[in-house]
Amino acid sequence: MLSAAFVIGILTLSGFQAKAHCEIPCGIYGDSVRIALLYEHIETIEKSMNQINELSKAESPDYNQLVRWVMNKEEHAKKIQEIVSQYFLHQRVKPVSSDDDAAYRKYTKQLELLHHISVFAMKSKQSTDLGIIDTLREKVHLFEHAYFDEHKH
């Protein structure tokens, strides 16, 4: 009985660590995968916004479906913020000395773009303004290029 509880505990803890992509550090990184996931989450938020806007126009809105789309939008925005924070800020974008001007400019540009992505993910929770989606895509695109100039696939 005790050994079963121990195994369940270990599995629970290992599942938690995998969610945050470990922070051990394990040395296993999927940078391109994370960028692809950011784009996928943005697309899902956009679809959610479109569905919310469409359902809201109905003479008799289906509030159950509206709530489900709002929850979906919230969840995917949160996932964007987790990738930005847990993956890129905590593990991949490394602080550099301000003595190295070029490296420091690249570092601050990456930080700025990650901050924008996180803020616009938050704004996507607050609205169904599709302009937010355009800005999110643009910021991810700019970050992707700023990041992969340094980290080759």
pLDDT tens digits for range 80-106:
999 999 999 999 999 999 999 999 999
d(CA 146, CA 74): 27
Residue 111 neighbours by CB under 8 Å, 6+ apart: 89, 93
The amino acid at residue 51 is Q
Confidence of residue 61 (pLDDT cuts 50, 70, 90): very high
pLDDT at 19 over 90: no
pLDDT above 70 covers a percentage of the chain that reads: 82
Mean pLDDT of 33-44: 98
User: With 70 as the cut, is the pLDDT of residue 59 above it?
Assistant: yes
| CB contact at 8 A, 93 and 111 | yes
User: Both ends of the chain: CA-CA distance in Å?
Assistant: 47
What is the 3-state composition of the chain as percent helix, strand, coil, each rounded to the nearest 5?
80, 0, 20
pLDDT of residue 3: 53
